[in-house]
Amino acid sequence: MGNSTAYPVLRTTDAAEAYAWGERLRALLAHCEDEVGLGAELLTAADVRRTAEVLPGARFHYVDARTGPTGEYLRFELDPRTADDAALEPHLPLDVTVDVPTGSVEERFAAAVGRGRGTAAVDWRGRWPDDPETGSVGSPKYDGVQIVFHGDSAQWGAWAAHHTVFVHAGKFGDERRARELAEAVGGEVLGEPQLGW
């Protein structure tokens, strides 16, 4: 098991720019999984409604578990696309985590959460190409590209005013590969590696 090693390669306050960089890096994968992971912490009714429009069948959840009068766990049951602000606000914050077909809604999701007030992410998992010259081999379990909106931690830490794009390169890290990938799209590795997915 274990986690990947994630290298930050872009920080920007422009969600569209972060998404474009993520897409360019994703195109460099030798293999990209058929599904992409999307997740968001939704702090306002407007955030919930925008995200629900992009992910109409998604199930939203309470960020913190809530229980009813007899101790049973409560589920969020409203349709966020039709509920008004007064109905949604007592249920905030909410979160959503889904896997959807790669290439389906990522750009619209990025636009929705990029305007939001909570942290969110797009996770494209795959495998980087093998590089016989350096001995680097792709790792399908640990390679990929991640965009964290309103954050600078691959593990979704504290809120930030900027968005961060990460290259995940192996379980034990591969800084040379991360540097080469960043340079291929006009960037560089920005600081220390982090614990990834």
Question: What is the per-residue pLDDT for 156?
Answer: 86
- Average pLDDT of the chain, as a whole number: 95
- Residue 9 in contact with residue 189, Cβ under 8 Å? yes
**74-93 burial by CB neighbour count: b if 16+ within 10 A, else e?**
eebeeebeebeeeebeebbe
What's the pLDDT at 5?
97
Encode pLDDT of 90-135 as tens digits: 999 999 999 999 999 999 999 999 998 899 999 999 999 998 888 8
Quick one: pLDDT at residue 1? 64
The pTM (predicted TM-score) of the whole model is 0.95
Cα angle vertex 183, ends 111, 31, to 5°? 65
Per-residue confidence in pLDDT tens, the chain, 197 aa: 689 999 999 999 999 999 999 999 999 999 999 999 999 999 999 999 999 999 999 999 999 999 989 999 999 999 998 999 999 999 999 999 999 999 999 999 999 999 988 999 999 999 999 988 888 899 999 999 999 999 999 998 889 999 999 999 999 999 999 999 999 999 999 999 999 99
Rounded to 5°, angle at Cα 149 from 144 and 150 = 140
